[in-house]
Structure 1
Amino acid sequence: MKKKLSIVDIANSLNISKTTVSFILNGRAREKRISEELVERVLKYVKEVGYKPNSLAKSLRTGKSNIIGLLVQDISNNFFATIARQIEDRAYKNGYKIIYSSTDNDTQKTQELIAMFRDRHVDGYIIVPPEGIEEDISSLIKDGLPVVLFDRYLPGVETDYVVVDNLFSTYNATRYLIDKGYKNIAFISFNNQQTQMADRLSGYNKAMTQSKLTTSIKEVDFYQDEKLMTEPIMAFLNEHPETDAILFGNNHLGTCGLKVLKKLDKKVPEDIALICFDDYEVFELCNPPLTAIAQPIDAIADKVITLLLNRLNTSVENGVKQQVILTTDLRIRKSTK
């Protein structure tokens, strides 16, 4: 294997000091009054030998890697993928690169990824947190590393976060169904206690209770294998044939639900009305198009990266943490008659 060249190798080959080479490669030649002739000679040699600087070593010297770590639940999910792309574009324009990965909402995997990012000396973290990583996030903040959470937050951990008003969003959607005359409204969501899902459930419960209607709730465990989520949804609907409307807790469950209803030969909205939390371009193409609670994706991405860049570009480590709560939009389509 060919040995990778170092600054020392370059310095020895040109018979100059490694400090001089370092100043030239880091753009400080004029500041250090290094002659243009020597600068030209070093840069020419570097180009000839194909020298590539060690980014990790550089980050150790400068204290900055210009890398941001982005952890989302599932990068293949349209919601997270769109936000990640916008964050990446904005970060790049501000001199930062993004390393991102999917956590699968798994605590241990998230902890391992945070440890990997620490080893890479990333400058800041954007995280969609699963349960159980409060200590890990607190440790990052204690060490002076900026952290911005989005989609959900961790009660008891003081950090910046960007979320939507989940409680009002599902309350509003459930009220819409009630006002349309539906009485046996089911709420199908993921089985976890994370803030976004807990608030969505609370919004549904609040609307149903105010109208003195009986709640009908199915919480599904998350699996990569979609079949393991469609089966319990089918069993639930078979057990509750009176269901005349369903509010799905997110778009992944919504797509699973559409497949279940097709298998059960249920017509939308004649047999069952549907609303899904998180809009998705496919929902507009469904027959009929699906009513959805649309999150402000552009605004979420903008707020998240703005918060982090502000933290990275300020010398104040312990400023007041910002909690941003954005509104959603109930997009009425033909899945609710």
Structure 2
Amino acid sequence: MKRNRISIKDISKALGLSNTTISFILNGKAEEMRISAQVAERVLAYVKEVGYTPNYLARGLVTGKTNTIGFIVENIGNPFFSQIASLIEEQAYNNGYKIIYSSTNGQTEKAVELIRMFRDRGVDGYIICPTEGLEDEIKQLREENRPVVLFDRYLPKIDSHYIGINNENAMYEACRHLANKGKKHIALITTDSQQTQMLSRLEGYKKLIKERNLNEYILYIPYRERKERLLSDFEEFLKKNPMIDSVCFATNYLAVGGLEVMRHRKIKIPTKISVLAFDDNEALRLFQPAITAVEQPLEDMAKLIIDRLLVDLKLGKVTDKTFHKELSAQLILRDSTEKA
């Protein structure tokens, strides 16, 4: 049998108290409004007994706040996003906010729909890993005084808060490590995406190759067809370039697929080809041999993201001066490059 939702009006009628008194108690303002402890305890005991849950949307219409944050990423199942989501959720909860998650799968149309859905639900702020072509939506959110923080990547045409890492330097240092190990034919496996973090990683690779006067070996996996094309394209790339002695994967999902191909072809790592990847995760740590990886400072990023958002939420408006911060990443050395 379906249970009807209990409202504040129902509670006030059952206990013989005003709606206002019930509301103050449920919002933790009993002492501030000089409501006796006995009355507050009575209300809270009854609320627990009947299983009352607040209607956050209705509350938001009254207070202008729902204490919720919309969190939009490319794929919440990706270890990078799931790890940082967990850290952000904990810090948001400690500050009185709940997180609502969603994934765009890299689709601009879906990202637009999600932002509009969150707006309709009255979320107080947005944490977004943007897709390409999302400029108009982010601009509109800021014009509506809705706090937004972008992370992992940014939109060059939009002035907005952004937290990420120095992707160019991180990739440069990773490739420099390979070059210092004596590698002469370093390949980069990336996508054709125009996302800023991918372009910066590409520039870091090219900078090292030019500096050491080496040949470029770049495989661009079509971003929209990455699941269908990665395995076949990478296998063909290895066949055409047998001189490759090391490979840098620009993302962890490219690394997982690429390692599958290398295992199928019985390529010995690192004897034949050294391997490193962006965004350390459990799969890379457990692979045999363990894979050298670029580790992003997730805890520091999460704290900066939520702290920056809270500033605007507490002010109740979007600040004119935007905050841009790029942190340093760390190269975690493992057997895939160290035993060659």
Partner of residue 107, structure 2:
106
Tell me the secondary structure at the aligned position of residue 99 of structure 1.
strand
Letter in 2 for 1:246: V
* Matched letter for residue 231 of structure 2: T
Report the 3-state secondary structure (helix = DSSP H, G, I; strand = E; otherwise coil) of the residue aligned with 1:175: helix
List aligned pairs for 1:1-337, cutoff 5 A.
Answer: 3-12=4-13, 17-28=18-29, 46=47, 49-222=50-223, 226=227, 228-315=229-316, 317-336=318-337, 337=340
Alpha-carbon offset, residue 84 of structure 1: 0.6
Count, aligned residues: 337
SS in 1 for 2:336: coil
8 A contact 2:146–2:317 mirrored in 1: no
User: In the TM superposition, what whole-angstrom CA distance separates every residue of 1:166-201 from its partner, at most 9, and x where no partner exists?
Assistant: 111111222222222222211101220000000000
Distance 1:174 1:43, change over 3 A: closer
CA contact (8 A) 2:312 2:319 kept: no
Distance 1:152 1:218 in 2: 21
Structure 1 residue 3: Cα displacement: 4.1
**Distance verdict in 2 for CA 1:264–1:112, change over 3 Å:** same
Q: Which amino acid aligns with 1:127?
A: I
Residues 303-336 of structure 1: CA distance to partner in whole angstroms, max 9, x if unpaired?
A: 1112112222235632421111101112222222
Once the two structures are superposed, what CA deviation does each residue of 1:231-290 show, in whole Å capped at 9, x if it has no partner? Answer: 111111112222111111011111111111111121111211111111123323332222
Question: Is the contact made by 2:230 and 2:258 (CA closer than 8 Å) also made in structure 1?
Answer: no
Cα deviation for residue 227 of structure 1 reads 5.1
- 1:48, CA displacement in angstroms? 5.3
SS of alignment partner, residue 267 of structure 2: coil
Greater mean alpha carbon deviation, residues 280-289 or residues 295-304: 280-289
Residue 13 of structure 1, CA deviation: 5.3
Give the RMSD, CA atoms, in angstroms: 2.4
Q: Which moved more, 1:207-216 or 1:224-233?
A: 224-233
TM, length-normalised to structure 1:
0.91
Mean alpha-carbon deviation: is it higher for 30-39 or for 287-296? 30-39
Q: 1:111 to 1:202 in 2, by over 3 A?
A: same
Work out the CA distance in 2 between the residues paired with 1:252 and 1:44. Answer: 50
Quick one: distance in 1 between partners of 2:322 and 2:176? 34
Matched AA of 1:151? D
Distance 1:52 1:289, change over 3 A: closer
Q: Give the fraction of aligned pairs with identical amino acids, expressed as a percent.
A: 45
Quickly say closer, same or farther: Cα 1:129–1:15, change in 2 above 3 A: same
Please give the alpha-carbon distance, in whole angstroms, between the structure 2 residues aligned to 1:109 and 1:274.
Answer: 34
Runs of 5+ in structure 1 lacking a partner?
none
Distance in 1, Cα, partners of 2:58 & 2:221: 46
CA drift of 1:29 comes to 5.1
Secondary structure of the corresponding residue to residue 270 of structure 1: coil
CA drift at 1:86: 0.7
Question: d(CA) in 2 for partners of 1:25 and 1:299?
Answer: 34
- Alpha-carbon shift at residue 88 of structure 1 (Å): 0.7
State the alpha-carbon separation in 2 of the partners of residues 37 and 331 from structure 1.
58
Give the drift of 1:225.
Answer: 7.8
Deviates most, 182-191 or 219-228: 219-228
The answer to whether the 8 Å contact 1:162/1:303 transfers is yes
> Any stretches of 5+ residues in structure 2 without a counterpart?
none
